[in-house]
Amino acid sequence: MRLLFQAFVFSLPAVLWAQDASLVPGIRSELKGATNDTLRADALARLCFNLIHADPDSARLCGDQALALATRIGNRRALGDAHNNLGWLEAQQGHLDSADHHLDIALALFRKAGRPEHIAVTLSNKGWVAEKHGDQVGALSHFLEALKHSEQADDSASTSILLYSIGIAYRKTGDLKQALEFLERSAEMERALGRKNKQANCTVAIGNTYRELGDTTRALDQMQQAASMFEALRDHQGQGIAWENTGDLLAPRDPAAALNAYSTARAHYDSLHSTTDLAYVLRSLGALHLRAGRTKEAAEALRTGQALVAGTGDAELEMNYAFSLAELGRAQGDADAVFSQMERYLALKDSVQGADTQRELARLRTAFDTERKEKDNALLRAQNSEQAERIRRNRQRLVGIAVIAALATIAALLFYLNYRQKRQHALLLEDLNSKLANSNAEITEINGLLELKLLRSQMNPHFIYNCISSAARMTQAGKQIEALGYLQGFARLLRQVLDHSVDDRVSVEDEVDFLRQYLKLEAVRLDGLAFAVEVDPTLLDEDAEIPALIVQPFVENAVLHGLSDKAGERRIDVRFDHAGDRVRCTITDNGVGRKASSATDAIKQDHRSLGMQLTQERLLLLTRRLGGERAVQVEDLHDTGGSPIGTRVTLLL
């Protein structure tokens, strides 16, 4: 499912300053007829802004000329305009540090001039630069401050757009209730302004917010309203988006209605010849047909969409189509198709989510990750220093005024004003220090989670490689049916891993099902492995939850170190039950024991597999996360003669 937004906020500076390349000839005429340097600097600044998209090189030339001329004549407003426009140009070209530099200078100049409408524009530009940096908190802070100045300037058009921007920023930080409040305010203002297209965009965003809140009924109502608005505007792109979102909402509970919604969206995209949008909606149609058992219709939709994907250059969409075609092959009983499409899916996934891409995805999806928090801390420290400097200057100003004051009444009034301002600064400093302390605590927690996620992302490809190798050996040995059954089990396990990887907690029932599927695959690879995964029924009745994918590394450790080198009967038992107000998981194997396993590992040290190394690293992280020895206990089992007969691991979750 993809979340679709027509974010007209990306054109915020254009809306506020009417960016339009068609205005360039007229501005050039004004430049030729300008009678003084102030008018020339103003015309050059406007040329820079209106040429940003049409001719970036000319825009930069005009901006530099405007900056030089404004500096020479000492015109503060013209100088601020030049820096602001150059900053937006740098942002559009991806030079974010340079953009911040220009915008900071412009903001300082506009603050001294006391022009709220110019301050609002520059702050909104800084908000979008922060957005490009992946700094959602910084973006939200700039948008909120820009809103105050826009309201002060009584500019309802820009105020409405800033409300929308703030709503989207709150959504990205996960504060959905605040997001809904600002989006609804924006929609109401757009309705009053008569801007139907922007009102419809607000309605789509509100519908998607309700969907994330779990209110499907309201989400559907908003999407239907948006579809009607776009229809009145004859906006096929907007109608397609509204109907595609409607199909996503209806698919789980009313497949027939969802099919009609997807078909309507497809018709609108067809009229626009929008290849990428068509590919997305065809994949949704294929998935819907596949769930209903209509493999013929699913195959037609998916193959048509696959042909479109080839021309989009969207590697992630191509990867998703490979996975959908593998599911289609499984439904059709075509083992070759499943195998080939899964190979293609894994290859594309490896390409799309390489090391650099994984880091970029983590940066974009984690609003409060370590890098962003460190930058936030630096910003808070800078603000603390600035506020302290202001307090120091205010004290000096108070002393100077007290010395030269002639009248007691004037001196008393100045003292009162200074006291009130100092009080505000003190409260602000206290708030900033509190945020700094909270940020440091969150950094520690996030570092642990990121370490675990990175090791998990390395472990998954290793296990996938082992499973595919086992299936390949079965196929080479002529065991096609066993290989197909193994791949189906592997596909189910892979689906469970994908589902669990996005949640920090899962139900005990889901974890038990996952462990059984994992041990079933290990039993195919390790001859003679017997296993049992049991759970206390009261845990199922209570819908108990535990951290996702936290038990599997201990089970894997028991199989790799305790059972893989054991001769004769191999058995592992996993049981979940109550331990007071916690869930206890007991993992018992009849393996060679820790002492024998350590000796075997020492012998094999030169050939130690990557999987064993990653498993040991994950165990260290998981033990730390569970609370160390108090929550993870390992017990060596011995017979009456003192010989090792296995190991028992007890986890308190």
Question: Does the pLDDT value for residue 592 go beyond 90?
Answer: no
Q: Rounded mean pLDDT of 237-247?
A: 90
Write down the mean pLDDT value for the chain. Answer: 81
How much of the chain exceeds pLDDT 70, in percent? 82
pLDDT of residue 622: 64
pLDDT of residue 614: 56
- Both tokens of 470, joined, read 């086992």
pLDDT of residue 477: 84
Higher pLDDT, 474 or 363: 474
Superfamily of domain 1-214: Tetratricopeptide repeat domain (1.25.40.10)
| Cβ partners under 8 Å of residue 440, min gap 6 | 377
Where in the chain are the domains? 1-214, 353-502, 531-652
Kindly list the distances between the CA atom of residue 380 and the CA atoms of 131, 153, 225, in Å, as whole numbers in the listed order: 18, 28, 43
| Cβ partners under 8 Å of residue 633, min gap 6 | 649, 650
Higher pLDDT, 332 or 458: 332
Q: Rounded mean pLDDT of 80-104?
A: 89
What confidence tens digit (pLDDT) does each residue in 325-370 have? 888 888 888 888 888 988 888 888 776 555 444 444 444 344 344 4
In this prediction, residue 220 has a pLDDT band, given cuts at 50, 70 and 90, of very high
In this prediction, residue 603 has a pLDDT band, given cuts at 50, 70 and 90, of low
Nearest-angstrom CA–CA distance, 437 and 433: 6
Higher pLDDT, 581 or 609: 581
Question: Does the pLDDT value for residue 608 go beyond 50?
Answer: no
CA 628 vs. chain centroid, Å, equals 31
Which is nearest to 622 in space by CA: 562, 559, 551, 558? 551
**Is residue 342 classed as helix, strand or coil in its secondary structure?**
helix
Q: Which of 78-87, 290-299, 477-486 shows the lowest per-residue confidence on average (mean pLDDT)? A: 477-486
In this prediction, residue 461 has a pLDDT band, given cuts at 50, 70 and 90, of low
| CATH no. of 531-652 | 3.30.565.10
| Cβ partners under 8 Å of residue 4, min gap 6 | 204, 208, 241, 244, 245
DSSP class of 562 = I
Nearest-angstrom CA–CA distance, 569 and 190: 73
Place of tokens 């004003």: 417
Q: Rounded mean pLDDT of 204-233?
A: 92
What confidence tens digit (pLDDT) does each residue in 6-40 have? 333 333 443 344 456 678 888 888 888 888 988 88
Question: Does the pLDDT value for residue 91 go beyond 90?
Answer: no
pLDDT of residue 71: 92
What confidence tens digit (pLDDT) does each residue in 221-232 have? 999 999 999 999
Q: Which of 53-67, 400-414, 427-441, 577-591 shows the lowest per-residue confidence on average (mean pLDDT)? A: 427-441
What confidence tens digit (pLDDT) does each residue in 627-652 have? 655 578 889 888 888 888 899 999 88
**Is residue 529 classed as helix, strand or coil in its secondary structure?**
strand
pLDDT of residue 443: 63
Nearest-angstrom CA–CA distance, 260 and 238: 17
pLDDT of residue 215: 92
In this prediction, residue 105 has a pLDDT band, given cuts at 50, 70 and 90, of very high
**Is residue 506 classed as helix, strand or coil in its secondary structure?**
strand
pLDDT of residue 360: 43
pLDDT of residue 624: 66
Which is nearest to 455 in space by CA: 372, 366, 550, 368? 550
Answer whether 589's CB lies under 8 Å from 646's CB.
yes
Which is nearest to 179 in space by CA: 205, 155, 147, 211? 205
Nearest-angstrom CA–CA distance, 414 and 543: 65
Say if strands 632-638 and 570-579 run parallel, antiparallel, or are unpaired: unpaired
pLDDT of residue 227: 92
Nearest-angstrom CA–CA distance, 228 and 1: 23
Nearest-angstrom CA–CA distance, 68 and 48: 13
- Give the DSSP H/E element, type plus range, for residue 474: helix 408-476
Question: Does the pLDDT value for residue 4 go beyond 50?
Answer: no
Q: What are phi and psi of 61, to 5 degrees?
A: -60, -45
- Both tokens of 535, joined, read 């759970």
Question: Does the pLDDT value for residue 375 go beyond 70?
Answer: no
pLDDT of residue 364: 39
| Cβ partners under 8 Å of residue 586, min gap 6 | 573, 574, 575, 577, 648, 649, 650, 651
pLDDT of residue 599: 64
Q: What is the pTM of this model?
A: 0.48
User: Which of 12-21, 92-101, 127-136, 463-472 is modeled with the greatest confidence?
Assistant: 92-101
| Cβ partners under 8 Å of residue 143, min gap 6 | 123, 124, 127, 162, 165, 166, 169
Question: Does the pLDDT value for residue 615 go beyond 90?
Answer: no
Q: Rounded mean pLDDT of 262-290?
A: 88
